[in-house]
Every structure is written in C-alpha cells, then in structure tokens.
C-alpha cells in the first residue's frame, strides 16, 4: 500500500503550527545580526562565543522551532496519530523554545552562567514536553508510512542531544564533572545528524514523492537507512569511550548521508512534471550541500590538524546554514501556504473565493529570497578563507531572513483577509 | 447520464483537490466523475461525504487509483 495521505479531521487548529513558522525567521535574523556585529572573529573557530550563540539561535530558535511545529502538524495527518492537547503542548513548546534559545545564546555571548541554566532549562522543558507528546502520538500510530520509524529515531536523538547539551551547559560553568571534550563532539553530531537529518529523511520519504511528483524512494532505503544510521550514531558515540576505532562508524555515517542525498537528487531528476518551484530548488541545493558536507566530513578525518580544523568549519557551514537551512526554508514555502489553503478550503469553501496555493505563496519572491540566501551562504564559506567577507555575508543573511518572514506573512495576511470576507458574508 | 474524466496524476497537491472540487460544483444528478490519482485522496473523502456525494475507489494495475464519484439520490 502507498502511504496514507493527509486527513483533515485530525489536523490541529491553524494557530498551532503558524506561531512556530512565523517566529522562527526572527531567530535567523538574530543570528544574522550577530554576524554583522562580530564579523570575522566568528570564523576564527567554531567555539567563539558569538559563533556558539549564533549556532544555537539557528538550531534552537530556527530549525528545532520549525521542526517541532511541523512535526505536530505532520504526525496527525501523515501518521493518523493525533498529538494530545495540541494547544497546550504547542503553547508550552513554543514559548520554552523561544525563551530557551534566547537564553542559551545570550549566555554564550555574555558568559553569564545563570542564563545558561535558565535558557538550557527552558529549552529542555520545551523539548521534554514535545518529546512526550510526539512519543505518545507515535505510539498510537495507525499508518505504516515509511516516515514513522525515521521520525521515531529522530526524536530519540533529540533526547540525547538535549541531555548532552544541558550537561555541557552546566559543566561549562564548572558545576559538573563530565568528559567535556567527548560530549562536546557528540552533542552536535546527535543534534545535526540524529535529530535534524534523520527527521529530514523521514519527512522526505513522504513529501518528496507527493509534492515533487517523483517515484517513491527505494524500499531498501526507507526500510533500513534511518535505523542503520541511528545504530551508527550509537557506535560512533561508544567509540569515544572504548577501543572501537571511530573512523569505521564515522565513514559509514558520511556514506549513509551521501546515499540519501544521491537517492533524492536522482528521484528529483526523474520527476513527471518538469516545472520547478522555490521549494524544489531549495531541496536540490540542500541535497548538494549535504553531499558536500559528507566529503568535508571525510576530509576532516584525513587531513593534517590545521587543514582539518578549516575543513571542520566548512563542514559546519555546509551542514547547518547550508543543508539544514536550505531544506527547512524550502519546506516552509510549501507547508505554510498549504496549511492556509487547507484550513480555508475545509472551513469556508462556498462562502467566499478561496485563494489558491500560488496566490498564497507566489514563486517569484520565494526565488528572490533563495538567491539572497545562496549569496549569503557563498560569502560565508568565502569568509573562511578571507574573513573580511563575514560582515557582508551577515548583511545578506539579514536581508534574506527579513524577506523570508515577509513572504510567510503574505500567506497569513491573505488567510486572515479571506476568513474576514467569509465570515462577513455569512452574517449578511 | 454522462461520465467525465479527470486525470490528476501529474498535478502537485493540492491541485488535484482544487480541480475535483471545481468539477463537482457542475456535476448534475445522474452524471459521474472518474478521477485518476497517484494516491488515495484521503482529504477528499470527508468533503465528499459532507457534500452528499458517493464514491468508489479501485486500484489500477499501474498502481494508481481510480475514484468514481456521483451525486447521492435524495
Ligand atoms: C538543551 C538545549 C541545548 C544546550 C543547553 C546546548 C548547549 C551547548 C553547549 C554548552 C555547547 C558548547 C560545547 C563546546 O564547548 O564545544 C554546544 C555546542 C553545540 N550545539 Fe548545543 N545545546 C543545546 C541544544 C542543541 C541542539 C538542539 C542542537 C542541534 C540541533 C545543538 C547544536 C550544537 C552545535 C552544532 C554545537 C557546536 C559544537 C561545535 O561546533 O564544536 N545544540 N551546545
């Protein structure tokens, strides 16, 4: 059987996902402002205070924010498993993630331990509530969609990421004795690879064939890849504390991500309809960047120390502002207008004219924003070799974040206007 | 009694749903609509029920779905 489609009866109210999607770009904006303010020093190392702050504005404020919001939307409709108490869960998760992201970032920036405890605690609370709701939902799944297991591995990785992040945050202030170096290597791996990339895979299995009109992913990939990679993440972690050579699971992890990227690019190459849009282009760019990240991962393992550090910095750029941001940015351009359209369609059809997808999310401004994003990313990578580019890159990130917010707001404004029209007519 | 054909296999969501809802508005009693789709249109079914249409879905040999829709007699 094909995976079940979406079913509206189980979709939560529109305010639930929208508040996540519309606040997320503001954190992108905040990260951009840091890059403008601190400039070249942020590229000296991944451990510069402003770099760690920007990293968490992106991971907690932007990517985790969108992913939690999207997952609460997708679990009910894709997996047929409603999230319990959707309003309360959304409210709590959203507020704790937003304040947590700000707190953790501020603590890195200004070195205030109390902010780290507060921000880390809030983020952990948000993740905790999200994990409980998502786990409950996944346990009640009715569909055999190939997305479901990958989503399960992803949220399990989130638990590991948050636990490592929280202990790192506390230990950083000297209150805890942990193997800091090992933890600080494993925490970003579980966060970027486990929580984020595995979720992208799970979502892709469903969304790429459906929205991009490609054939389905090969069964071997949807059945084995996510679970295999999760196992490799465990082995790679164990290698830090045992005699297991880290290179073996390390190389396998890079190869696994490469397999996914290539499979996706090949499917997209076999599309039935040749028209492209911003979402598709963002995803193709994202997959290209994922491939680049795999190669840099290998390079970082093979190169001599100094060159390896530069490769690791580039790996971070290809992975987070590259692959992950591109895919999520592209996804937002589909999910936001789709939800708006869908809610209008199901509540107000026949009462007033319902705008279509292209009106809710025109392609031209989305492509314009993508061009800015690509320029910002290219300059950021360039700044690794020639640091004076950093501030200019920051300015472009800033413009790109504002434009993204503007584009998403357009859908919301049109949604509101249509609802107003429909309800005004009803009372005539 | 006429039968109309709507092939949405090459359309991106939610266009299939948009198209079929447009057509349903003009479907007279006694007419039917045969829809070809790559997936089960799970979003469509509840709308059909609500708007007073009957439907029957069969899987085709190529792995697509064929959905026959007609207005319920009142
Ligand atoms: C509970 C929330 C979190 C807290 C308190 C936290 C805390 C930390 C700390 C203290 C570090 C510094 C480690 C070092 O000294 O090298 C760090 C690094 C990092 N974290 Fe988090 N983190 C959290 C959540 C996340 C999430 C959800 C992600 C990814 C999705 C993430 C991605 C990263 C990355 C990429 C680094 C950079 C490491 C490097 O470049 O070496 N963090 N985090």
- Whether A235 shows a pLDDT value over 60: the answer reads yes
Residue A403 in domain: yes
**Helix, coil or strand: residue A75:** helix
The pLDDT of residue A231: 98
Instruction: Provide the percentage of residues in chain A whose pLDDT is more than 90.
Output: 74
* A19, part of any domain: no
- Residue A46 is assigned to a structural domain of this protein: no
Q: Residues A20-23: contacts with CB within 8 Å, 24+ apart?
A: A20/A65, A20/A66, A20/A68, A20/A69, A20/A70, A20/A90, A20/A94, A21/A66, A21/A69, A21/A70, A21/A332, A21/A335, A21/A336, A21/A408, A22/A405, A22/A408, A22/A409, A22/A412, A23/A61, A23/A65, A23/A94, A23/A98
pLDDT band at A417; cut points 50, 70, 90? very high
Pocket test for ligand 1, best of A175, A188, A324 (most atoms within 8 A of CB): A188
pTM of the model: 0.91
Q: Is A391 domain-assigned?
A: yes
- C-alpha to C-alpha distance for A339 and A332, rounded to whole angstroms: 10
Say how many Å lie between the CA of residue A389 and the centre of ligand 1.
25
The domain tally of chain A equals: 1
pLDDT for A78: 67
Q: Is the pLDDT of residue B71 over 70?
A: yes
**Inside any domain, residue A7:** no
Question: What was the pLDDT predicted at A5?
Answer: 37
- Identify the pLDDT of residue A6: 42
CATH of domain B3-71: 3.30.110.40
Chain A residues whose CB is inside 8 A of the B63 CB are 2
Q: Per-residue pLDDT for B42 more than 80?
A: no
Q: What number of C-beta contacts closer than 8 Å exist between A and B?
A: 47
- Among A71, A121, A183, A187, the mutation site with the greatest number of ligand 1 atoms within 8 A of its Cβ is A187
Closest by Cβ to B10, choosing from A2, A210, A273: A273
Question: Predicted ipTM?
Answer: 0.74
pLDDT at A88 over 50: yes
Q: Write down the pLDDT at residue A3.
A: 31
A423 band by pLDDT with thresholds 50, 70 and 90: confident
Q: Where in chain B are the domains?
A: 3-71
When pLDDT is cut at 50, 70 and 90, the band that residue A46 belongs to is confident
State the smallest CA–CA distance between residue B21 and chain A in angstroms. 10
Residue A2 has pLDDT above 60, yes or no: no
Q: Does B23 touch chain A (CB under 8 A)?
A: no
Q: Which residue on chain A is closest to B8 by alpha carbon?
A: A213
Q: Is the pLDDT of residue A314 over 80?
A: yes
A235 falls within a domain? no
Answer yes or no: are the C-beta atoms of A8 and A342 closer than 8 Å.
Answer: yes
The CB of A125 under 6 Å from ligand 1? The reply is no
User: Does residue A138 belong to any structural domain of this protein?
Assistant: no
The confidence score (pLDDT) of residue A73 equals: 82
pLDDT at position A286: 98
Per residue in A146-174, pLDDT (tens digit) is 888 999 999 999 999 999 999 999 998 77
Q: Which domain holds residue A324?
A: 271-346+353-416
A238-247 contacts, C-beta under 8 A, 24 or more apart:
A240/A179, A240/A182, A240/A185, A240/A186, A241/A179, A241/A182, A247/A301
pLDDT digits (tens, 9 = 90+) for A363-374: 999 999 999 999
Closest CA to A21 of A124, A98, A92: A98
């Amino acid at each position: 059987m094909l995976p079940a489609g979406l079913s509206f009866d189980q979709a939560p109210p529109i305010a639930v996902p929208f508040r996540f999607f519309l606040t997320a770009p503001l954190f992108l904006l905040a990260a951009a402002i840091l890059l403008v303010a601190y400039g070249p020093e942020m590229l000296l190392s991944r451990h510069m205070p402003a770099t760690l702050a920007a990293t968490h504005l992106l991971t907690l404020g932007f990517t985790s924010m969108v992913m939690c919001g999207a997952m609460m939307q997708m679990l009910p409709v894709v997996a047929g498993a409603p999230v319990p108490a959707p309003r309360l869960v959304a409210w709590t998760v959203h507020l704790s993630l937003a304040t947590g992201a700000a707190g953790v970032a501020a603590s890195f920036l200004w070195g205030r331990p109390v902010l780290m405890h507060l921000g880390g605690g809030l983020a952990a609370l948000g993740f905790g509530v999200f994990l409980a709701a998502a786990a409950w939902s996944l346990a009640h799944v009715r569909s055999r969609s190939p997305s479901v297991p990958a989503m399960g591995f992803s949220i399990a990785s989130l638990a590991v990421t948050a636990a490592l992040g929280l202990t790192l945050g506390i230990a950083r202030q000297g209150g805890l004795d942990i193997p800091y170096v090992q933890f600080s290597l494993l925490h970003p791996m579980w966060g970027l690879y486990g929580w984020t990339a595995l979720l992208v895979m799970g979502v892709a299995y469903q969304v790429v064939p459906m929205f991009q009109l490609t054939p389905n992913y090969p069964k071997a990939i949807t059945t084995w890849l996510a679970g295999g990679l999760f196992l490799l993440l465990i082995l790679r972690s164990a290698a830090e504390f045992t005699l297991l050579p880290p290179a073996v699971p390390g190389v396998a992890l890079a190869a696994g991500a490469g397999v996914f990227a290539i499979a996706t690019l090949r499917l997209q190459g076999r599309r039935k309809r040749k028209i492209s849009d911003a979402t598709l282009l963002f995803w193709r760019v994202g997959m290209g960047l994922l491939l680049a990240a795999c190669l840099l991962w290998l390079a970082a393992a093979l190169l001599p120390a100094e060159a390896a550090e530069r490769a690791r910095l580039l790996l971070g750029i290809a992975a987070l502002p590259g692959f992950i941001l591109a895919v999520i940015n592209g996804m937002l351009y589909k999910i936001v207008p789709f939800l708006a359209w869908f809610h209008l369609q199901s509540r107000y059809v026949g009462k007033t004219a319902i705008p279509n997808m292209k009106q809710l999310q025109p392609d031209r401004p989305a492509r314009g924003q993508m061009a800015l994003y690509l320029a910002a990313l290219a300059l950021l990578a360039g700044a690794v070799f020639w640091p004076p580019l950093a501030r200019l890159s920051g300015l472009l990130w800033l413009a790109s974040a504002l434009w993204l917010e503007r584009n998403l707001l357009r859908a919301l404004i049109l949604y509101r206007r249509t609802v107003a029209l429909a309800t005004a007519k009803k009372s005539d | 009694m006429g039968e109309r054909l709507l092939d949405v296999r090459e359309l991106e969501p939610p266009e299939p749903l948009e198209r079929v809802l447009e057509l349903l508005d003009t479907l007279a009693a006694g007419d039917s609509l045969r829809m070809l789709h790559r997936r089960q249109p799970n979003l469509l079914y509840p709308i059909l029920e609500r708007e007073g249409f009957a439907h029957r879905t069969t899987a085709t040999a190529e792995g697509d779905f064929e959905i026959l829709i007609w207005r319920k007699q009142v």
